[in-house]
């Protein structure tokens, strides 16, 4: 029996990177997964590869999209057990310090990373409150430290950390049996990782090497390292864990 056998799960932004790995891991452990993404080609490719994954086009910024996704899943399966709020963006402009971040940039990043997770939690709670479940929100180590070159991103991920705690307490006190936790990846080998290294110019390969040298475990994380932690929080193994911040950074933020 899988660790999330027969559980009904949604993974936002599941067409690429960490979300794709999470969707695959949940499906491999027995879950029936809906991958959502604003990129239909990427999302369909994930669903085509695994029988127990379906794809729905979904922009996490749009409330009507959330309603459609929840309706689809509840009509098909009658309940929702796991919601992974994974969709996120780093930036849409190159200037990223506090002085150069435009209001447009602040709003664009927060619309996906912060508002998208807020909407996900609100719709997730509505879908899960009669039956219970687990919400996992993808934050970042950017929520835990200063991010001089990623001003809007760091603030958006700190919002995710904070709202996760509040959702956890709210759901616990209401007796909904919904747990809510955040996961904080560090340096992960993904296209977003490459984007971070490209910030501010310089040699990307050398910047990866310098960043990795600063990680106590001596290597960058993989999408599977993050997916394993998300799987634990999504499963009943974490039945007494709520409001927690699980940091997956090879020790980078310890010192």
Ligand X SMILES: NC(=O)c1ccc[n+]([C@@H]2O[C@H](COP(=O)([O-])OP(=O)(O)OC[C@H]3O[C@@H](n4cnc5c(N)ncnc54)[C@H](O)[C@@H]3O)[C@@H](O)[C@H]2O)c1
Binding site for ligand X (CB under 6 A): 12-13, 15-19, 37-39, 42, 58-61, 86-89, 112, 116, 138, 140, 185, 188, 190-193
Return the number of the residue (86 or 101) whose C-beta is nearest ligand X: 86
- Between the alpha carbon of residue 245 and those of residues 55, 113, 180, the distances in Å are 28, 17, 10
User: Which DSSP symbol is given to 148?
Assistant: T
- Closer residue to ligand X, CB minimum distance, 130 or 209: 209
Please give the distance of CA 63 from its chain centroid, rounded to a whole number.
18
Q: How far is the CB of 32 from ligand X (least distance, A)?
A: 20
Residue nearer to ligand X on the CB measure, 24 or 193: 193
In the complex, the smallest distance separating the C-beta of residue 196 from ligand X, rounded to whole angstroms, is 7
Helix (H) or strand (E) holding 227: helix 223-234
Q: Which is nearer to ligand X, 8 or 84 (CB)?
A: 84
Coil, helix or strand for 33?
Answer: strand
| 35: helix, strand or coil | strand
**Residue 130 CB, nearest distance to ligand X (Å)?**
26
Which residues, 6+ apart, have CB-to-CB distance to 25 below 8 Å?
224, 227, 228, 230, 231
Determine the Cα–Cα distance for residues 175 and 132; give it in Å rounded to an integer.
Answer: 9
Identify whether the C-beta of residue 85 lies closer than 8 Å to the C-beta of residue 123: no
Q: Are 88 and 142 in contact (CB under 8 A)?
A: no
Across-strand partners of 56? 36
User: 37 vs 81, which CB is nearer to ligand X?
Assistant: 37
**Would you tell me how many other CB atoms lie within 10 Å of the CB of residue 113?**
28
Q: In whole angstroms, what is the distance from residue 113 CA to residue 96 CA?
A: 16
- Do 32 and 52 form a contact (C-beta atoms < 8 A)? yes
Q: Which residues are catalytic?
A: 153
- Among residues 29 and 115, whose Cβ is nearest to ligand X? 115
């Amino acid at each position: 029996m899988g660790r999330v056998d027969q559980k009904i799960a949604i993974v936002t932004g599941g067409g690429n990177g960490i979300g794709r790995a999470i969707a695959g891991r949940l499906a491999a452990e027995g879950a029936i997964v809906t991958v959502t993404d604003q990129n239909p080609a990427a999302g369909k490719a994930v669903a085509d590869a695994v029988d127990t994954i379906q794809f729905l086009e979904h922009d996490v910024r749009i409330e009507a999209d959330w309603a459609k996704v929840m309706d689809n899943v509840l009509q098909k399966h009658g309940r929702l057990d796991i919601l992974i709020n994974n969709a996120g963006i780093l930036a849409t402009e190159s200037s990223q310090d506090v002085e150069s971040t435009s209001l447009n940039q602040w709003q664009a990043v927060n619309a996906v990373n912060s508002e998208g997770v807020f909407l996900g939690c609100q719709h997730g709670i509505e879908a899960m409150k009669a039956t219970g479940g687990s919400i996992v929100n993808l934050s970042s180590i950017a929520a835990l430290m200063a991010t001089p070159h990623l001003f809007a991103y760091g603030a958006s991920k700190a919002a995710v950390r904070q709202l996760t705690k509040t959702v956890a307490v709210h759901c616990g006190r209401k007796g909904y049996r919904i747990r809510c936790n955040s996961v904080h990846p560090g340096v992960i080998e993904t296209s977003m990782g490459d984007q971070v290294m490209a910030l501010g110019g310089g040699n990307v390969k050398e910047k990866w090497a310098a960043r990795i040298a600063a990680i106590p475990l001596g290597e960058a994380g993989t999408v599977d390292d993050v997916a394993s932690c998300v799987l634990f929080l999504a499963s009943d193994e974490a039945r007494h864990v709520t409001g927690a911040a699980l940091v997956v950074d090879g020790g980078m933020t310890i010192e």
